[in-house]
Amino acid sequence: MVHPAYARLVQQVDAMFVQAQNRYGSLIACEPGCADCCQQDLSLLALEIHPLLEAANELDNPERKQVRRAARALRDGQRQACALLDEQGHCRVHPHRPLICRSHGLALLMRSEEGEQTEAELSLCPKNFIGVAKIAGDCVLDLTTMQTALATLDNLAGGHGERQELSAALLAMLIE
């Protein structure tokens, strides 16, 4: 079951993505099958990993077997793409994807603190916002704020702030 506060955070990120698509149209190239951002194993909090595992367990048996093989290959360094991607680059559990996946394609503000100074960097997918000189602030996702909110919600939901690799969780919990 998805925590209600987490579901609201998901809705906010999804709404921001829709807003960016509406404002920038074809300058956001994200579409089904584009998996450029999905070339890694995810490290997720319990709040996000449990809905993914539930959704993966609801896949039909042949798909679950494919996910287990992909998770094993990812763990063993023989694959780079997320274990939940199919052969066409589509996410098998797209409606249940975590916040980091939902943020792919958005303009991301990434902040880091060094001493007393805070550094900020705008990160963009190289396929998106081409030729845009300035991106509207309401279409920029502050990744630090999102991660802080996520960690707080995970703690409130009984998590301990511990992250787990998705491939390991899939291998440990996915029913064959």
Alpha-helical (H) ranges within the chain are: 4-24, 46-57, 61-75, 99-103, 143-156, 166-173
Averaged over 15-36, what is the pLDDT?
92
What pLDDT does 116 receive?
73
State the average pLDDT for the chain: 92
Using the 8-state DSSP alphabet, how is residue 104 labeled?
Answer: T
CA distance 64 to 7: 25
The domain segmentation of the chain, as residue ranges, is: 4-173
pLDDT at 154 over 60: yes
- Residue-wise pLDDT tens digits, 89-137: 999 999 999 999 999 999 999 988 777 777 889 999 999 999 999 999 9
Q: Per-residue pLDDT tens for 53-93? A: 999 999 999 999 999 999 999 999 998 999 999 999 999 99
- Report the share of the chain in percent with pLDDT over 70: 98
Inter-residue contact 109 to 143 (CB < 8 Å): yes
pLDDT at residue 164 is higher than 80:
yes
Task: Compute the Cα dihedral for 91, 82, 123, 126 and give only its sign.
Answer: negative
pLDDT (mean) for 149-165: 92
Q: Are 41 and 82 in contact (CB under 8 A)?
A: yes
Tokens of 15: 């709404």
Does residue 124 contact residue 105 with C-beta atoms inside 8 Å? Answer: no
Provide the terminal-to-terminal Cα distance of the chain, rounded to the nearest Å: 21
